[in-house]
Amino acid sequence: MQIVLSAQFDDRSKTQAIVLMDPSRFWGDGAEVLASRVGHAAELYHQKVAPVIMLTGKDSTTSAERTLLVASGVPARDIVSFTTGVDTLGSLEMIAAVMNDLHWQSATIVTDPPNAARASAIASGYGIDAHLSPAKSGPGTALTSDYVGRETAALMRYYLLTRWTQPQLVHPVD
């Protein structure tokens, strides 16, 4: 149920960063998934949801995302990329560490709707004030039974195993 409910959110509150999750695991054409997420992140940037977009994933992916974002009118100076983990947990761990160094607490997370609940739970576990704005079009955005099932299993694994050893990396600024 949490997967389906979180998929409906589109929180466009002001935050300190837009975090574009790496679409390395996808259903369908990877280029289309990437384009959908990048387009959504660019829209949020142009709506002034946050002044910077943080890219996660492999160098080849973040390079393609950066090119698409610049072509969408996002200034290169407002795009920061990090070579991060190969999954949601590892990527958000890197983002949380950087946010803590910058004394930032809030981020808008752009991912697929079925992944939104897990991304939010993991980000919150690291101490990030996570706002969800999943991409709503393109491959990987449908709440198919296989994708919801996979995300439900992954979220349960997170709550049952990982959450208990996850460090809080983002701390409130005094």
pLDDT 10s digits, 78-115: 999 987 767 888 899 999 999 999 999 999 999 988 88
Question: Which residues does 61 contact at the CB level (< 8 Å), separation at least 6?
Answer: 22, 23, 24, 34, 55
For residues 7-33, average pLDDT: 80
Could you tell me if 87 and 95 are in contact, meaning their C-beta atoms sit under 8 angstroms apart?
no
Structural domains in the chain plus CATH codes:
2-165 (3.40.50.620)
- Predicted TM-score (pTM) of this structure: 0.89
Find the distance separating the first CA and the last CA of the chain, reported in whole Å.
Answer: 36
The CA distance from 77 to 130, in Å, is 23
What H or E segment, with its residue span, contains residue 82?
A: strand 79-83
Could you tell me if 137 and 38 are in contact, meaning their C-beta atoms sit under 8 angstroms apart?
no
